[in-house]
Structure 1
Amino acid sequence: MFIRKLATSATLGSAKTLGVKAAFSEPSIVSPVKAINLAINCKPHSKWTKQEIKEIYNTPLLELTFQAQLQHRRYHDPAEVQLCTLLNIKTGGCSEDCKYCSQSSRYDTGTKAEKLVKLEEVQKAAIKAKENGSTRFCMGAAWRDMQGRKSGLKKIAEMVKWINDELKMETCVTLGMVNEDQAKVLKDSGLTAYNHNIDTSREHYPSVISTRTYDDRLETIKNVQKAGIKACTGGILGLGETPDDHVSFLYTLATMERHPESLPINRLVPIKGTPMEAEISKLPIGSERRLKFDAILRTIATARLIMPESIIRLAAGRYTMKEHEQFLCFSAGCNAIFTGERMLTTMCSGWEEDIAMLKKWGMKPMKSFRKHGIEAAENVFQKGVETYPENTSPTLKASSKATSILPALVAAVSLGSAGYYLGRKRAINDPPEYAFPWSSTTKLELIDSPKYSTEEELRTAIDEIKRAVGDDHVTQSPAEITGHTDNGFTPHPPKPHEKPKYIVYAYSTEEVSKILKVAHKYNVPVVPYSGGSSLEGHTFSTRCGIILNTSRMNKVLQINHDDLDATLQAGVNWVDLNEQLTGEKMMFGCDCGPSGLIGGMVNTNASGINASRYGAMVHNVISLTVVLADGTVIKTRQRPRKTSSGYNLTGLFIGSEGTLGIVTEATVKLQVKPQHETVAVGQFPSVLLASQTVAELFKRGIRPEAIELLDEDMMHCTNYSGQLSKKWLEVPTIFFKVGGLNKRVVDETLEIVRKVSLENQCADFIIAKDKTEGDELFAARKNAFFSILDYGKNEIDEDVRLWVTDIAVPLSRLPKVVDEIRELVVKSGFQSVILGHVGDGNLHADLFYKPDQLHECHKVINEITMIGLRNEGTASGEHGIGNGKRQFLSIELGQDAVDTMRKLKLSLDPKRILNPDKIFKIDPHDEGEY
């Protein structure tokens, strides 16, 4: 048995004196032990061979990570994780040709070259990092080298010195190649570490970079180490390399005269516009050059064994890792992460998320200037068993009273062996949830890929569907298919190979049931479709199957005047419904976009301008008729306004985006239409004062029908359009719609609104004199979309496009969020407008972009979403997740919540035929960007 060999070789080691150093053999000893035993028994050295490293790398993964964790505990506190934050102090314009880099001037990635930031901006970012728990502050500049940058070097040295003196934080910079004199300047400023990666193996390097040699990189590392600066040196996994390249990469690091103080492991984030993104996308699935997670784990575990004193840091691309994958990395010896708002030009997991994650694991942030390695380990031995908690490795629990460390080591290895078998037995008898099929959640990596119909099976299924519902219900018309794959606004259309093969129309619940029974029989993917106005790709296919269009199911089945409800088919348009209700003095309160149909509104939990008073769809739906994946028809409840009978199935399907079942009918609440209604407009100096007005109105019990915020840019578009007779102040503006039983009630309410607005420095407050003026005033809001497009096409570009996104935050966070979004957009160079259903904290940030700016615009939109999440908000207030915001769901709710949703999905749709790939991933081989 492996552990027995380890114990034997430990016994053979010299232990002449008390202390850790005596417990390790010199690396030059000749011994028939395995390479992994050599790593454990010898003190850190630089005499490794590639064959030895390869032997360790190829050790069975369970044994490899187990030994790496033991090694980790010999040199580090296993509960401590270093939190590092990286600020991009000079973006873009780099002359290098690194194929993976968005900051290279050679590639069109949308990254714009910027000058070195000012000291004040660095100070602000460093203070924020420290306040959030980071102990090392890193700064990166996109330069090839520091030649001719004496002024820039001086400024960076000032930044380093200020952080050291004022914040007492460790500092690290990455500035490209530096010579000995430049390294000395940085050392004199107090710099802790210098980051300079070797990127990959010497053999693979020429296929990644040609403008700087491998030896150039090694020379810079020697220069900074010679100056007394610690080297932060690692690389990027996922550049199309092989496992042998991982071994060679580690060989270069492990044979350095001084091992890197810290070793960042980056997971490639493919950036559109870079050659690497194109190369990786063309690699066949299953190729050894496609990075698998176990290769990351092996690289970390091997690095921990052969470079035990180094800090191993999960760097770029960590946000793409699932939580349990990060946990495995820490189990293999990783003990540092980059955290904060950004990771140069890519996303980064935030402080709050990371602190919560570490707390859950029983880990804690590492203090600044923490010692590591044999010296630190020796201190632990000297302090004795009281130093570490009970769950610490027995290897570290040696008593200072012992006359020799040898018996302690032998006992430690024996206990470790016993612990291994006890842990293995426990894993079998009491398995962790993620590894056991009866768990309450379903992890993505533990399920197989769905098996969908072949082309022949799809044709057979279509023939059966035609026989079941009629030939005229099915079409392959290119025009129809095109119309169902692009609505002109969503930036998430299907790729050519994802387009549907057929469009199938249904006219009743019974027909939907017949269609799904056939689809279920042949494993045909089905995407439900109603109005087609979704913005996050909900109604667009990702698998070659069918679109099931319910828009022709447009009957109002029943209106119950006394009960104020109506039963509708899924294809009923809410505007048409309200027109039908005009003479009844009733209305449907949920008013999303005018093309919205009931089925889609249910699926996305849509809301609209009236949400302040009447809420979203979840507040307006009483019951649903739903067809499940196998064709089963269920009704979620009867018509009473309240029930405590069984599960709330109605709530389960609302917002499920057609992934759990297809909604065919809905019984909805109707509202008594206000007998008197008018419009008021208040214009404010700032969003803060506008928000304070709304908050104060709510505190006083005032709930207008609509409270709509338009920022100053939106008001500029309104004036530009010339659609209205009035010219507005171009300042944050709130449009109030107030209704009531009679004019007196409305007037009294408006007087309160006016007074509260004036108390908050409202510059101009207008109340419509009659319905005609009210309609004109509110037209500024109702016609906002057309005003935006008019401005964009005339002032920006005739081919300009608009990316419409939404987030929702608590009302108290709204001003801060708007300020952060505006600051982000200004810095990005784009133009935007902000509209808000401010009554429920829902914001629409709409960005203008040209077709060639799509990728860069996407990055800004993603950051806007992150701003919402960092302010206790949601990734979407009313648009939904679709396939456009999948990456944010686990950030918002946590991976366990997403895994719970996946469990529900597989319970109701085990074949995964309903709207595949929406909301979260259902295929472990889904290599979508998000």
Structure 2
Amino acid sequence: MSAAVEQLLTALAAHVQTKSAEFGSLRIRTDNATLRRHSRDKSYHHESQRPRAVVAVASEAHISLVLSLANALKVPVVAYAAGTSLEAQATLIDHNGIILDVSEMDNVVAVHEEDLDCVVEPGVGWGELREHLKPTGLFFPPDPGAAACIGGMCGTNCSGTLAFRYGTMKDNVLSLRVVLADGTVIKTRNRAVKSSAGYDLTRLFIGSEGTLGIVTQATLRLRRIPTHSSVVIAQFPTLSASAIVVQRLVQSGAPFLRLEIIDDLCIKAVNTEIEDPARKFAELTTIMAECAGGSHDAVSEQLASFKQACGDGVMNLTVATNEEEAEHLWSLRKRAYFSATALRQHEVDKKFTVVVTDVAVPISRLVDILVATKKMIAEAQLVSPIVAHAGDGNFHCLMVVDDNDPAEIERATTVRDKMALLALQMEGTCTGEHGIGIGKIHLLEKELGHGAMQLMRTLKKALDPNNILNPGKVFHLESPSKL
């Protein structure tokens, strides 16, 4: 263990012992099982390092103490809650650092029904928050991976299937409490929906991937649960045909709740998990939409718009007639990621992982990039379903690779980069919702330009001069020409 980390842990232990009332619940873990569990997240990257220690915190004061000491000793700190990040944001790249586990900070601090907002800690899962809010008739829209927590969702500016109507985290967070690198605690703004007071610090921290500060509380915008809804799927012979229909739907202005595309390969994977032949889906590229509103007429109007946009090219069209059917149709999208490896289950004695990547483009270019991506995947001889939050031009490739085949992993990362570069040529982004992490550092300057990158480095150096907060993520502190 490095001398700096040892000093940090000794100082923390002293605070726990001498100020037990305030710091007694702070725990320092160095056992192998804990260190191993916190050395990886859900990404496929292998550059992460085992931490020297995991410090489990239970309050804002704990985080402030840890960061103030770590900053003085220049010990790297990475925040960790559920470990669901897909670009290695929750892992260390320096083995002489610690993981700050905020998962026990999982309280819903307040729900202001009359103001349609709530205050939560970073370890609250969005699924648990939805259940907590159900009795109020309110919900929090962003819905990324099932186990994701609010802290990480802020860090990556995640979104999910409901972003088409409600936007991303930046559109749904009113205010944050944040601990800076030196232990200083700040509040970014008050709870009012509108404010013109000062810089927009809330949005500065959202999407910063834990490199500028650590969120301790978030005030979230809530929405009314729609009183009427219906799920509809339409199947087409090709990916391009479905994407053309999605373009029509978006350009029509119809306020769908969700608008997704699932390709034929993804449906084949999902079908492997369905035992009843009668409930399997036709293996065709599928558009899924959820229509929702305040009345039956509003939903019917959206359904009519959907059917009209599908035109004569649709091969199958199914509208759920009850909640059970709606859940079955929606299971297509929910199972996509977890069923992907089933496509190679016939290859015995191999360990498979899924290289997940996402890009987003203006809706007018969705057809072009999907067709091009399908071609890239075929040329690389990869197995990769495609799923899309199609309504906002964002899609994901789930490249199923042999974890012990470096050449195959290399082909997957090459496709990832080609996808991203093509998206940039189309005035899109190299990541719609997964973030940069370490996997897309080399693409960020290509997207934003040298001037914007230097401005971000200036901000980082101002807020974290010792570079202790999630170092090596989003960008290198020095520009590539200086490395």
In the superposition, the TM-score normalised over structure 1's length comes to: 0.49
Contact 2:244 2:367 in 1 (8 A): no
| 8 A Cα contact 2:26 2:62, kept in partner | no
Structure 1 partner of 2:19: none
Local SS of the residue matching 2:106: coil
Q: Is the Cα–Cα contact under 8 Å of residues 516 and 631 in structure 1 kept in the other structure?
A: yes
Q: 2:412 aligns with which of 849, 854, 857?
A: 857
Report deviation, 1:712: 1.9
Q: Could you say what the CA RMSD is over the residues aligned between the two structures, in angstroms?
A: 1.9
**How much does 1:764 deviate?**
1.4
Report if the CA contact (8 A) 2:44-2:353 is conserved.
no
Unaligned stretches of 5+ residues in structure 2 = 16-22
Unaligned runs of 5+ in 1: 1-453
User: Aligned to 1:457, what secondary structure does the other structure show?
Assistant: helix
Pick from 667, 686, 702 the counterpart of residue 219 of structure 2. Answer: 667
State whether structure 2 residue 345 is matched by structure 1 residue 793.
Answer: yes
Q: How far 1:726 sits from its partner (Å)?
A: 3.1
Letter in 2 for 1:493: H
On the 8 A contact 1:556/1:572 being kept in 2, the answer is: yes
Alignment of 1:824-835 (within 5 A): 824-835=376-387
User: CA offset at residue 461 of structure 1?
Assistant: 1.3
2:187 to 635, 650, 667: 635
Query: 1:716 and 1:521 mapped to 2: Cα distance?
Result: 54
Are 1:499 and 2:50 an aligned pair? yes
Q: Give the total of aligned pairs.
A: 471
The residue identity in structure 1 corresponding to 2:468 is I
Output the amino acid matched with 1:483: R
Decide which moves more: 647-656 or 793-802: 793-802
* Residue 797 to residue 845, structure 1, CA distance change in 2 (3 Å): farther
- 1:752 aligns with one of 298, 305, 318: 305
Deviations 1:91-146 (A, max 9, x none): xxxxxxxxxxxxxxxxxxxxxxxxxxxxxxxxxxxxxxxxxxxxxxxxxxxxxxxx
**Kindly tell me: are residues 803 and 722 of structure 1, through their superposed partners in 2, closer, same or farther at Cα, counting changes over 3 Å?**
same
Report the counterpart of residue 8 of structure 2 in structure 1: 461
Once the two structures are TM-superposed, the CA of residue 718 in structure 1 deviates from its matched residue by: 2.6
Measure the CA separation in 2 of the matches of 1:536 and 1:607.
Answer: 15
Asked if structure 1 preserves the Cα contact closer than 8 Å seen for 2:173 and 2:219, the reply is: yes
Change (3 A) 1:604 1:684: same
Alignment of 1:94-493 (within 5 A): 455-468=2-15, 469-470=23-24, 473-487=27-41, 489-493=42-46
Instruction: Report SS of the residue matched to 2:82.
Output: coil
Cα shift at 1:494:
3.6
CA distance in 2, matches of 1:925, 1:476: 35
Could you tell me how far apart the structure 1 residues matched to 2:303 and 2:88 are? 40
Aligned equivalent of 1:648: 200
SS in 2 for 1:794: coil
Question: Do the aligned partners of 1:679 and 1:735 also contact (CA within 8 Å) in 2?
Answer: yes
Given that residues 691 and 812 in structure 1 are in contact (C-alpha distance below 8 angstroms), is that contact kept between their aligned partners in structure 2?
Answer: no
Query: Is the 8 Å Cα contact of residues 388 and 395 (structure 2) preserved in structure 1?
Result: yes
SS of corresponding position for 1:806:
strand
1:763-782 correspondence to structure 2 within 5 Å: 763-782=315-334
| Cross-structure match for 1:708 | 260
Supply the distance in 2 between the matched residues of 1:744 and 1:797 (Cα, whole angstroms).
55
What is the rounded CA distance, in whole Å, between the counterparts of 1:459 and 1:926 in structure 2? Answer: 35
1:479 is displaced (CA, Å) by 0.8
Deviation, 1:882, is: 0.5
Q: 1:915 aligns with which of 470, 474, 479?
A: 470
Secondary structure of the corresponding residue to residue 351 of structure 2: coil
Residue 531 of structure 1: aligned partner: 82
Displacement, 1:685? 3.0
Change (3 A) 1:823 1:757: same
- Which secondary structure does the structure 1 equivalent of 2:175 belong to? strand
- Give 1:719's aligned residue: 271
Task: Provide the identity percentage.
Answer: 36
The answer on whether the counterparts of 2:26 and 2:58 sit within 8 Å (CA) in structure 1 is: no
- Helix, strand or coil at the partner of 1:890: helix
The match for 2:93 is 542
The one-letter amino acid paired with 1:480 is T
Contact map agreement 2:236 2:242 (CA 8 A) in 1: yes
SS at match of 2:375: helix
Residue 442 (structure 2) pairs with residue 893 (structure 1): no
The change in CA–CA distance for 1:926 and 1:571 in structure 2 (over 3 A counts) is farther
Residue 41 (structure 1) aligns with: none
Q: CA deviation at 1:524?
A: 1.1
More strand by share: 2
Distance 1:796 1:718, change over 3 A: farther
The code of the aligned residue for 1:584 comes to T
Provide the secondary structure at the position in 2 that maps to 1:832: coil
Deviation of the 1:797 alpha carbon = 6.3
SS state of the match for residue 721, structure 1?
coil
Alignment match, 1:508: 59
Select which of 852, 859, 867 maps to 2:422. 867
Report the structure number with the largest CA radius of gyration: 1
CA contact (8 A) 1:793 1:799 kept: no
Match of 1:806 among 353, 358, 371: 358
Residue in structure 2 matched with residue 741 of structure 1 by the alignment: 294
SS for the counterpart of 1:866 is helix
Paired residue secondary structure (1:867): helix
Structure-1 separation of matches of 2:388 and 2:482: 34
User: Counterpart of 1:127?
Assistant: none
TM-score normalised according to structure 2 size: 0.93
Task: Report the Cα distance in structure 1 between the residues aligned to 2:296 and 2:354, rounded to whole angstroms.
Answer: 40
Aligned equivalents of 1:716, 1:796: Cα separation in 2? 19
Q: Distance in 2 between matches of 1:723 and 1:911?
A: 55
